Amino acid sequence: MKVATARAVVCLSLWLCVCQVRGFHLPKEMNKTIQNLLQHYNIPHRERYNGKPVFSREPLKETLEMKRVFMGGVLETYEKLLSHMLKNLPTPSPQTTGSRELPVTATPGTAGSEDVKAQLRYILKRVQDLRKYSYQDQEKLLQGLHSLRHIQMDNHVVQSKALWELPWLYEEASSLSDMQMRRRRRRRRQARKVKIHPSA
């Protein structure tokens, strides 16, 4: 569990660094806080760079709308993860006789448990603010998707109402699919025109 938590912190810092490269400025204090937390949640390099990120980069290659929905889900997951990390911070364990290892919260270069709590709270607040002020529409969509998972499949009333609603929903889904295909065709035609008739 500690490895997964450390991976999530690493992925958060990498994701925030990528955002910085793309034009978003990561606040200096936030960057410093993440670096301090990485010292506390230290893992071996072979685990950090094992090619298995916590969050896949594949959805980030899609359309802007899909990216925003995915990032809304990522921020929600980080909010839950950071809250979990706060609740489960290890307490300093006494050093046993003959043991050369220091307790997790007292390793060299790391802050004490209270400092780690404060840093986690700071990062959690930043994630919550970003999600609250920039991803409200995505939050509503994610809640809607989450409610779809909890539809009572064996309820006769639900089954009947779902059948009643299917024609409208099917037409809507078909219409959206058709609009997407039209956009792709239009882009291809425009790209061909540019290739055939380059501007002078």
| Token pair in block for residue 175 | 């219409």
Per-residue pLDDT at 118 = 92
- Provide the whole-model pTM: 0.59
Per-residue pLDDT at 120 = 93
- Nearby residues of 83 by Cβ (< 8 Å), 6 or more positions away: 124
- Cα torsion 9, 7, 134, 124 to 10°: value is -30
Per-residue pLDDT at 186 = 78
Per-residue pLDDT at 87 = 92
Q: Which of 2-11, 120-129, 160-169, 179-188 has the highest mean pLDDT?
A: 120-129
Range 59-85 average pLDDT: 85
Q: What is the mean pLDDT of the chain?
A: 76
